[in-house]
């Protein structure tokens, strides 16, 4: 949503937040030092592809990067800018080479997605990273809960919320983007906050899965079904699924 609004040429002030500290760290590093992030990504790209496709050496290299990443994000010595740049480059490199492009952590906060088997992953997309850096220059970024961000929203502000989706089945029940998860009680709290924002005069838009639970939670809101890409793989997938766009405006 943010990048769409930037590309539209609209003038606005943006506040972007996420509970995933490493994601926010990555965006900050891309905004403030894209050249540093790109330089490290080119290094990882070269070293990863120096090994034979799907070889044991390539797999081992992935797990070395994963261990390095976890050691950095769990270290108390991560206030240095150089460490943030390294975290950002590793975050991107792992996302491009892990199974399904999935960011998942365990209860200790360790990234634990296994290696993916991609023939030629685009680990360093320098042109895109530079464009993202330019876009983020007009945004304030912070790591925190959406309720903290919503406290500052005023009448006339546009608020977009993109929570972990309510699972459509038991096997699709995944919310481990952080070590805290996001369950039914969190979904109820989100709906309550959305109503408070609406009462405050904010324009509210959020996305979620199409389940009876979500439809009931947002009774009274404008609910639209949309077709959306479900896959988060680095390869474009043709698979689509029903999702909901929920708003307090038509």
CATH superfamily of domain region 20-136:
Adenine-specific Methyltransferase, Domain 2 (1.10.1020.10)
Show me where the domains of the chain are located: 20-136, 145-175+182-247
18-32, 126-140, 190-204, 222-236: segment of lowest average pLDDT: 222-236
177 or 65, which is more confident: 65
235 pLDDT exceeds 80? no
Q: Does residue 6 sit in helix, strand or coil?
A: helix
Residue 172 has pLDDT above 80, yes or no: no
Per-residue confidence (pLDDT) for residue 160, from 0 to 100? 96
The superfamily CATH assigns to domain 145-175+182-247 is Vaccinia Virus protein VP39 (3.40.50.150)
Report which of residues 79 and 28 the model is more confident about. Answer: 28
Contacts of 112 (CB under 8 A, 6+ apart): 104, 105, 106
Mean per-residue pLDDT over the chain, rounded? 89
- Residue 33 CB-density burial (10 A; 0-12 exposed, 13-18 middle, 19+ buried): middle
Distance (Å, whole) CA 142 – CA 18: 7
Nearest in space to 164 (alpha carbons), one of 148, 177, 150, 145: 177
CA distance 6 to 22: 23
- Tens of pLDDT, residues 174-199: 444 445 668 899 999 999 999 999 99
Percent of the chain with pLDDT over 90: 72
Burial class (CB in 10 A: 0-12, 13-18, 19+), 165: buried
Is 96 a residue whose pLDDT tops 70? Answer: yes
- Over 50: is that where the pLDDT of 223 sits? yes
d(C-alpha 100, C-alpha 103), whole Å: 9
Distance between CA 136 and CA 2 in Å, rounded? Answer: 9
Pairing mode, if any, of strands 222-229 and 240-247?
antiparallel
Among candidates 217, 220, 159, which has minimal Cα distance to 192? 217
| Residue where the block lists tokens 């479900």 | 230
- Average the pLDDT over each of 109-118, 138-147, 161-170, 194-203 and give the range with the smallest value: 161-170
- The reply to whether domains 20-136 and 145-175+182-247 share a CATH topology is no
What's residue 75's pLDDT?
Answer: 83
Whole-number pLDDT of residue 10: 86
Residue 124 has pLDDT above 60, yes or no: yes
Q: What is the pLDDT of residue 241?
A: 76
Percent of the chain residues topping a pLDDT of 70: 88
CB of 150 closer than 8 Å to CB of 79: no
Query: For 219-238, what is the mean pLDDT?
Result: 73
Q: Which band of pLDDT confidence, cut at 50, 70 and 90, is reported for residue 149?
A: confident
Q: How many residues comprise the chain?
A: 250
Q: Which residues on adjacent β-strands are paired with residue 203?
A: 158
pLDDT of residue 231: 53
């Amino acid at each position: 949503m943010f990048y769409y609004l930037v590309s539209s040429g609209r003038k606005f002030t943006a506040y972007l937040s996420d509970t995933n500290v490493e994601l926010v760290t990555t965006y900050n590093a891309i905004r403030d030092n894209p050249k540093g992030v790109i330089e490290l990504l080119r290094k990882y790209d070269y070293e990863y592809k120096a090994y034979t496709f799907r070889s044991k050496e390539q797999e081992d290299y992935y797990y070395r990067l994963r261990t390095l990443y976890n050691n950095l994000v769990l270290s108390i010595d991560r206030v240095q800018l150089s460490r943030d740049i390294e975290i950002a480059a590793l975050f991107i490199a792992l996302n491009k080479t892990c199974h399904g492009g999935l960011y998942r952590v365990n209860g200790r906060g360790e990234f634990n997605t296994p290696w993916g088997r991609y023939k030629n992953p685009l680990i360093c997309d320098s042109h895109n990273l530079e464009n993202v850096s330019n876009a983020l220059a007009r945004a304030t970024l912070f790591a925190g809960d959406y309720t903290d961000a919503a406290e500052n929203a005023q009448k006339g502000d546009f608020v977009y919320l993109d929570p972990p989706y309510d699972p459509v089945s038991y096997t699709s029940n995944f919310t481990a983007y952080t070590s805290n998860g996001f369950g039914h009680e969190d979904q109820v709290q989100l709906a309550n906050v959305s109503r408070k924002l609406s009462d405050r005069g904010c324009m509210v838009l959020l996305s979620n899965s199409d389940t009876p639970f979500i439809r009931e939670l947002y009774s009274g809101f404008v609910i639209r079904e949309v077709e959306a890409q479900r896959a988060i793989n680095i390869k474009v997938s043709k698979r689509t699924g029903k999702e909901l766009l929920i708003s307090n405006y038509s």
